[in-house]
Every structure is written in structure tokens, then in C-alpha cells.
Amino acid sequence: MLKIEHLTKIFGKGTINEMTALNDVNFHGSAGDFITIIGSNGAGKSTLMNCIAGVFPAESGTITLDGIDITKMPEHKRAKYIGRVFQDPMKGTAFDMTIEENLSIAYNKIRKRGLQAGISKADRELFQEKLSLLGMGLEDRMKEKVRLLSGGQRQALTLFMAVIAKPKLLLLDEHTAALDPSAARKVLEQTDYFAKDEKLCTMMITHNMKAALEHGNRTILMQGGQIKMDIRGREREEMTVEKLIEKFEIDNDRMLL
Amino acid sequence: MLIVTLLEALELGLIYSILALGVFLSFRTLNTPDLTVDGSIVTGAAISAVVCTAAADLDPAVQGVVCILGLVLSFLFGMGAGAITALLNTKLKIQPLLAGILVMLGIYSINLRIQGKANINLSSRKTIYSMMDDAMGGFRWSAIVLGVLIAAVVIILMYGFLKTRLGFALRATGDNEDMVRAAGISSDRMKLLGLSVSNGLVGLAGGMLAQYQGYSDVGMGTGMVVIGLASVIIGEVLFGTRSLMQRLIAVALGAVVYRMVIGVALYLGMPPTDLKLVSAVIVTIALAMGMLGENFSLWKKKSRGGDKNA
């Protein structure tokens, strides 16, 4: 599904601020995988995701998604195969448009965008039905502007928008970090639900090591722009937060929360 | 008489409402103040004036059609100006404000070339306004009827467009570019589309203005973007933004109100030479009102005490 080979990203190349954010990263993700990614600040987690999503180009290496080489594809083109949720709840939606208009934008990602009606009756029924799965009552507020939603509701909506067009890859960059504990729990539950899709490969960055081991089927740890640990199955079941800290001398208090 | 002053302001205001709707597209939908407007409105006026002048040599039966064709060309040339600004911004990464200034500067020479001279007089020529006047048997306010018709058509077309899939993508671009790219939309292409259509409408307004006032002058564009911005803000503050349709109508009415304020000020004896200063002051007040807008509506909400729709 997702194949990353020798991926390197250097910021400010040739300047005194030169920084190697990703150093020869090799990684393989399969369909149905739900991979949690941990690592302290500056480890290269977000850079990895941004390289996969095409926010900025990589220095060298290749990224292949489902057999298609997307290394040089512009961000908006590869977005057809990739769903994304950002850390900032403001970043995932158009705040001055209604819930159903936002859903339509996400839903039509893989369809032609011409002068068709923005939302057809069938679309509206589908959105309503699917929104009720979130269990937040949003299905009755489809004509309200997104600016009226709380952070948790927005993040749930963004998550839903990220998967509505059936992407191959779902990238979650600390998508619950800005939420209060109960909203974060709810969005994580929804993440588990959507990640169950066997055709989808999900990658989730989190600073919460406990959540990283509880959710998904695979955990990778990044340090200094490289993948230092990649565990799954039994090894992962036996792994605890304490062991991780001992093994990797993690000194970031935030990760213990 | 004051009523005559107001009706004349309405005639002119309806033309400026097309300008305001164009500025609305760039300023609100794309979230970029676009200075191309000062140039593209003259381009529209110049094209329209040249076409109407050329029509005078043709069979009277087709003159009317040619005048309308002139407006279509005004729209298309305006679009061209907007497209250049958008390309400077997206391809060469020039800041939107600066890109607009560059096009506004350069287009002055192009407008002069189109006209061939500094101004064109259309006073005895056939125009859409003289045609409407004839069609209505010399009705004194036929220009208002025509203005309302054109504004209504433009509003309906814009509303329809902004409710399509493409329209959604355009509106989201001004709201949140990151989200738009994540949704598989090229934000560059949306800016190209938005600025083109926006300046197309501005060009159309210029074309109408030339035919209405009976002349086109290369210097007539100065301050037009300010009038457009003022109209958008005044309209939104006075008439509300609850639904998209309401918002479009509000913007169009904002232009009418703006012209009426200016008209009354002139009627009360303000020297026309002070016009630009007064325009700038009105826009400053309008922008400040926009800033205070949220407090203003909050205050309204409070005073109505729990009314659901307040």
C-alpha cells in the first residue's frame, strides 16, 4: 500500500540553519494497518506526514501509494488518495460554509467539479445518514455554519470529511491534541471506527504514549529523523509506557500524559 | 429636488452594484483585496465605448445588438485583467496586493491604446440606455429599470454559480486554503477563476458606466476599488449576511446606499472636488463598522432579549 524508500528531507539546505528532518527513512504500510507514531518534538513525525501529503517536496527518496509513484505529484492531486486531519481544529474545515457544504467539498474530491449542483438531494440524504454515525447530533444541524461548532465537533467532522471519499491513506497529525479529554476520547473512538476499514491504511501521530499503544495494530517511534522502533503483534502487546521510556531515554514529560 | 437626486443616485448605484458584486468575489470569497479593479473598470469602459462608436457606422437595426456585444467584451477583457493578476500571484508568487498594483499600472497604457485617445464621447451614440429609453417610450427613469434587470440577472447567476460544486471550491479557498488543497482542489486554479470572474464583473460595470454617462475616460478608474469595498462593507453591515442570497443582495444595495450618501452630500452643497476625500472617509468609517460588526450584532442580540433569530 504505502511504500517509502530512502526518504530524506533537509530544511534550509546550504544555510547555517540546515536541519535534516528526515534521514533515509524506509517504511512500509499495508492496507488495514492502523499505525501510531510517537517521538519527541523535532523527531520528524510531522515532516514525514507532510512529505507523504506533498506539503513540501522531499530531497531524495520515493513515496509510492498503491503502486503509484506520488513523490513528485502536486499536493492537491495526491489528496485524492489521502485523507488528512490536522492538529488545529480550525484547519480542517471552511468556517464560513455550512456543514453540508463542507461535506460536499470533501465528498466530491474524487468526482468532477463543474457546474453541477453543489449538493444533490441524494448527497444530502447520504450525509445525514452518515453523520448520525458520529453520534453528535450534527445530522440535524447540516445547514449551520461550521464556525458555530465546538473544537471537538469540528475535529469529528474533519475526520469524517477525511474518510468520506474513501481514501487509501488516512493521515492524522495529533488530531486530538487540542481537544479536552472527553472530546479527545470521542474523536479517538471515531478514529478506531473509521480505521477498521480493511482497505485503508491509517497513520496517527500522537504525543500520548498510552494511546499510541492502545490504539491501532502497530507503533513506530521516531528519533532524529529516523524510525528507531517498529513494533506490532506480541511485541507490541507486551510493550508498556515504562519500558518505552527506559529503552529510548525519552525525556519529554508531555509524552507521559 | 432631493427625490430626483436620490433617483439619479439609484441609477448610478445600480451600475456600481455590479462593481460591488465583483469586488465581493475577490474581497470576501477569495479574501484578497484586489487593486486590479481600478484598471479593469476602465478597460471595460474603453471597450464598450469603442464598440458603441464603431456601431454608429452600422445599420441602425444591429446597433443595439452591437452595444450589448460591447458589454460582453467588457466582461471578457475585465476577466483577462483579473487572470493576469491571478497568474502573477500564483505562478510568480507576487503578493496579491502588489500583483494588483502592477496590473493596475500597466493596464493604464493598454486602456489608452484601446481608446486611442484619453477620452471618448458617446453623447449622441446609441447605447443600451438610449435603447431602453426608446423601448419604454421616453420614460424618465428607464435606466433604473434596466439597472435593476441587469443587477438581478447578475445576482441570480452568481448565486447559482456559488452553489455549484465549483462554486463551493471557490468559496472554501478564501476560507481555508489548507483544507482546499487537502480536498484535492488546486487553490491556484480557484484564485485564477475567482479573480477572473471578479474583474469580469468589474469590466461589465465599467462598460455600463461608459454607456450610461456617455463617455469613457482613462482616468475614471481612480478610487473604484475603494468604492467597491465601501459598498460591500456598508451593504453587509446594513442588510445582513445570514444567507448567501441575502448577502449578495446586501452588497448590491450597499453600492446604491453609497451613491445616495454621495448624492445627498453633493445636493447639500459639498464641492465635487472634495469627493475623493469624502469617499476615503466613508470607507474608513465602513471598515471600522465592519471591525465593530460583531459587537454591533451582539448588541442587537442582547437588546432583543433571547429572540431566537436575533
Its ipTM equals 0.88
Query: What is the H or E stretch that residue B74 is in?
Result: helix B60-90
- Confidence band of A253 (pLDDT split at 50, 70, 90): low
pLDDT of A23 > 60? The answer is yes
Interface probe, candidates A76, A81, A102, A149, chain B, greatest B C-beta count within 10 A: A76
Grid look-up 439619479 returns: B8
Distance, C-alpha B155 to centroid of its chain: 12
Q: What is the pLDDT of residue B163?
A: 95
Q: What is the pLDDT of residue B303?
A: 52
Q: What is the mean pLDDT of residues A191-199?
A: 92
Q: Is A84 near chain B, with CB under 8 Å?
A: yes
User: Is residue B293 included in any domain, yes or no?
Assistant: no
Q: What is the pLDDT of residue B291?
A: 65
Residues of A with CB below 8 A from B172's CB? 94, 97, 102, 105
**How far apart, in Å, are the Cα atoms of B7 and each of B140, B144, B210, B263?**
10, 8, 19, 10
Interface size A-B, in CB pairs within 8 Å, comes to 87
Angle between helices A151-164 and A121-131 (to 10 degrees): 120
Q: Is B175 near chain A, with CB under 8 Å?
A: yes
**Rounded distance between C-alpha atoms, residue A96 and residue A75, angstroms:** 23
Length of chain B: 310
B165 vs A104: CB contact, 8 Å cut-off? yes
Q: What is the pLDDT of residue A203?
A: 96
User: Is residue B210 included in any domain, yes or no?
Assistant: yes
User: Is residue B122 included in any domain, yes or no?
Assistant: yes
pLDDT of A101 > 90? The answer is yes
Q: B126-132: long-range contacts at Cβ-Cβ below 8 A with a sequence spacing of 24 or more? A: B126/B52, B126/B55, B126/B56, B126/B60, B126/B63, B126/B64, B126/B67, B127/B52, B127/B67, B127/B211, B127/B212, B127/B214, B128/B64, B128/B67, B128/B68, B128/B71, B128/B208, B128/B211, B129/B211, B129/B212, B131/B64, B131/B67
Q: What is the pLDDT of residue B203?
A: 98
**Rounded distance between C-alpha atoms, residue B173 and residue B194, angstroms:** 10
Kindly report the nearest CA distance between residue B176 and chain A, in angstroms.
Answer: 6
Contact A173, A84 (CB under 8 A): yes
Which three cell numbers mark A157?
A: 467532522
A84 vs B169: CB contact, 8 Å cut-off? no
pLDDT tens-digit readout, A228-240? 999 988 889 888 8
**B199 CB burial (10 A radius; 0-12, 13-18, 19+):** buried
Q: What is the pLDDT of residue B307?
A: 41
pTM of the entire predicted model: 0.88
- Residues with Cβ within 8 Å of B69's Cβ and at least 6 positions away in sequence, in order, are B51
Interface probe, candidates A75, A113, A158, A163, chain B, greatest B C-beta count within 10 A: A113
Q: What is the mean pLDDT of residues A6-30?
A: 92
Q: Is A108 near chain B, with CB under 8 Å?
A: yes
**Rounded distance between C-alpha atoms, residue B120 and residue B131, angstroms:** 20
What 3 state SS string does A140-184 have? Answer: HCCCCEHHHCCHHHHHHHHHHHHHHCCCCEEEEECCCCCCCHHHH
User: Is residue B135 included in any domain, yes or no?
Assistant: yes
**How far apart, in Å, are the Cα atoms of B253 and each of B20, B114, B142, B241?**
9, 32, 19, 12
Kindly report the nearest CA distance between residue A192 and chain B, in angstroms.
Answer: 21
User: Is residue B299 included in any domain, yes or no?
Assistant: no
Q: Which residue has the higher pLDDT, A123 or B310?
A: A123
Residues of B with CB below 8 A from A80's CB? 184
User: Is residue B263 included in any domain, yes or no?
Assistant: no
Cα-based angle B125, B131, B133 (whole degrees, multiple of 5): 110
Overall domain count for chain B: 1
Which three cell numbers mark B215?
A: 463617455
- Residues with Cβ within 8 Å of A63's Cβ and at least 6 positions away in sequence, in order, are A2, A3, A4, A7, A51, A52, A69, A70, A71
B186 vs A118: CB contact, 8 Å cut-off? no
Sheet strands (E) in chain B: 119-121, 215-217
Query: What is the H or E stretch that residue A25 is in?
Result: strand A19-29
Q: What is the mean pLDDT of residues A138-154?
A: 92
Q: What is the mean pLDDT of residues A82-90?
A: 93
Contact B227, B258 (CB under 8 A): yes
Residue ranges making up the domain that contains B104:
2-220
User: Is residue B261 included in any domain, yes or no?
Assistant: no
For residue A240, give the DSSP letter: -
Kindly report the nearest CA distance between residue B165 and chain A, in angstroms.
Answer: 4
User: Is residue B46 included in any domain, yes or no?
Assistant: yes
- Rg, chain A, Cα only: 19
**A3 CB burial (10 A radius; 0-12, 13-18, 19+):** middle
Of the candidates B168, B181, B187, which has its C-beta nearest A118's C-beta?
B168
Low-confidence ranges of chain B (pLDDT < 70): 290-310
Interface probe, candidates A49, A52, A105, A143, chain B, greatest B C-beta count within 10 A: A105
pLDDT of A257 > 50? The answer is no
Could you say which residues from 8 to 47 on chain A have a Cβ atom under 8 Å away from some Cβ of chain B?
none
B184 vs A109: CB contact, 8 Å cut-off? yes
What average pLDDT is seen over chain A?
Answer: 90
3-state class of B237 per DSSP? helix
Contact A205, A173 (CB under 8 A): yes
